[in-house]
Amino acid sequence: MTETNRNAAKEVSGRLFAGERLLVMVGLMGFALAAIIALCIGFNGAAVLPEGNLESAFSFDAAIGLFILSIAAIMPLSGLSSRKRAMIRWLFIQGTLYSYAVETIQHFRGINPRFTQAGTLADNIFGALFGLESLVIIVATVLLAVPFFRKRQHEARPLLVLGIRYAFVSTMAAFAGGVWMIALQSRYTGDAGNLIVLHGLGFHALQALPLLGWLLERASTDGKIARTWIHAGSIAWMISILLIAVQTVLGLSAFELTALPVMAGIMLLVWLTAAAVSVRRLLKSTDGASLFNLLRDRGI
C-alpha cells in the first residue's frame, strides 16, 4: 500500500459510521420494528394475554436499535484491524437479531420473553438463550471498548474519544443492571426499585457523552477548555448513575422527590449545561450555511 493509500485509509477509519453499513441497517431495523409495534398498539392496545406487553417490545426494539447505531458510529474510531472489527460486528449482529426476534415475537404471542410464568419449556429455553445473548453483547462491547483506552490509537480525534471513554464506563453500569435483572428474573427490586432506569441511563451515555466531544471538536474549542467541559458533563452523568444505583439498591423509586433522585437530577442538569455550552460554541464558530453542510457531511 502506498503512502497516499495509507493516509486515505486512516482518514476513512476516523469517520463516524465508516465501513459499518450492515450495523447501521441492523440498528435501523429496531426503529422499523418499533414503528410497526406502535401501530399495533394504536389499533389493539398494548396488552396481549397472558403476559405480553407490546409497550415493552416497542421500547426494547427502539433502545437496542439506538445502541447498535451508536456502536456503528464509534466502531471506525477504535483502531481495530478489519478482522477484529468483523468479529465484533458479527457478535453484535447475531446477538441483536436474536434479541429483536425473541422480544418481539414472544410479546405478540402473549409470553414474557425473559421471565415467563405461563410459557412452555421451549419458551423458557428461548428466555435462557436471550440472557446468553445479552452476555454476548456485553463481551462484544468490552472488546470494542478496550482499544479506546490505548493512548496511541486516538491522536486524531482526542475530544470525541474522551467522551467515548466516559460513555463506555457508564455502559458497564447499564450492563451490571442488566445482569442484575437476569439474576432476579425481574426488573423490580425492593418495594419500588426499577432496574430499567439504571439500565437505560447507563446505555444513553453512549449518545450523551460522545456528543459533547463531537460538538466541541467541531467548534474548534481550545483543547484545555473543551476537555474541562467534557470532564464536567461526563462525570456529572456518571454521578447521576451512581445515585440512581444506590436508590435502586435501597428498593426505592428513582422518580420520587427525595435526596438521591433530586441530586441525580441536578447532575443531569450539569451535563445539560455542558451540552448547551458546546452547542453555543459550535453555533458561534460557524454560520447557518456551513452548519447545515456540516450536519449533511457523511463524515460527520
Q: Cell numbers of 6, please?
A: 495509507
CB atoms within 10 A of CB 60: 23
pLDDT higher than threshold 60 for residue 289 = no
Q: Which of 223, 197, 213, 220 is nearest to 274 (CA)?
A: 213
pLDDT recorded at residue 152: 64
Q: Which residue has the cell 453555533?
A: 283
Q: Cell numbers of 260, please?
A: 438521591
Whole-number Å distance between alpha carbons of 78 and 160? 12
pTM greater than 0.95: no
The percent of residues in the chain predicted with pLDDT above 90, rounded, is 68
Category of 180 on φ-ψ map: left (φ > 0), alpha (ψ -120 to 50) or beta: alpha
Q: Which residue has the cell 483543547?
A: 223
User: Which of helix, strand or coil describes residue 189?
Assistant: strand
pLDDT recorded at residue 221: 78
Q: Which residue has the cell 496511541?
A: 152
pLDDT recorded at residue 188: 86
Whole-number Å distance between alpha carbons of 228 and 124? 49
Burial of 171 (0-12, 13-18, 19+ CB in 10 A): buried
Mean pLDDT of 97-106: 96
Let me know how long the chain is: 300
Q: Which of 56, 24, 67, 66 is nearest to 171 (CA)?
A: 67
pLDDT recorded at residue 294: 54
Given a contact cutoff of 8 angstroms between Cβ atoms, the answer to whether 104 and 36 are in contact is no
Given a contact cutoff of 8 angstroms between Cβ atoms, the answer to whether 106 and 52 are in contact is yes
pLDDT recorded at residue 182: 78
Three-state DSSP string of 78-102:
HCCCHHHHHHHHHHHHHHHHHHHHH
Category of 112 on φ-ψ map: left (φ > 0), alpha (ψ -120 to 50) or beta: beta
pLDDT digits (tens, 9 = 90+) for 3-57: 444 443 344 456 889 989 999 999 999 999 999 999 999 999 999 999 999 999 9
Out of 1-5, 65-69, 244-248, 270-274, least confident range: 1-5
pLDDT digits (tens, 9 = 90+) for 109-128: 999 998 888 889 999 999 99
